Amino acid sequence: MRYQKIISVMLVTLLLLTIAATNAEAQKGDWAAVQRIEPGTRISVKLRLRTVCHFVSATENQLACKIPPEGRMPFLPSELKFERRKIRQVRLEHDPSVNSLAGMAIGMGTGAALGAAAGGKTLTRGGGAILMGGIGALFGGVYGMFFPVVHKKVVYKR
């Protein structure tokens, strides 16, 4: 019975990740799709590293976006401009809370499985699963907030 719950959580998590990966199909080289993005949409732009920002506009040669206040460094510009020829990928992004919840679910499932498997002398298997599941959810939620786990559609890929 206990294992069924743990396995169910792991299977649901795997299913959600598979669905997210299937939705990440890219439109290769379709810059017009980038130009049609609604201003204010949360996106990520990948050159060598990925930058998460809010879309402002796109011309034939560049993309402009604003860094969200929570990710902006003091004394640095709030609006960034990227040259089209340097952009490798543009992807739509979820709100940080979605990634935090996904990270919590993954962390909780992993922690619960490890806690149940460990089953030490001081805790029962159920107690270990609950304790480690809670700790895993805490770490997973923080991880998911800063390192997106779930993504939306890839709009442009070079």
Among 127, 138, 73, smallest CA distance to 100 is for 138
Of residues 65 and 69, more confidently modeled: 65
pLDDT of residue 88: 95
Tens digit of each residue's pLDDT (9 = 90 or more) over 1-50: 555 566 555 545 654 555 455 444 545 778 999 999 999 999 999 999 98
The CATH 2.30.30 domain(s) of the chain lie at: 24-95+150-157
CATH of 24-95+150-157, one of 1.25.40, 1.10.1060, 2.30.30, 1.10.10: 2.30.30
Q: Does residue 77 carry a pLDDT above 90?
A: no
pLDDT of residue 33: 94
Distance CA 115, CA 67 (A): 39
pLDDT of residue 8: 54
pLDDT of residue 15: 46
pLDDT of residue 83: 96
Q: Are 27 and 33 in contact (CB under 8 A)?
A: yes
Tens digit of each residue's pLDDT (9 = 90 or more) over 81-134: 999 999 999 999 888 788 889 999 999 999 988 888 876 666 777 888 888 899
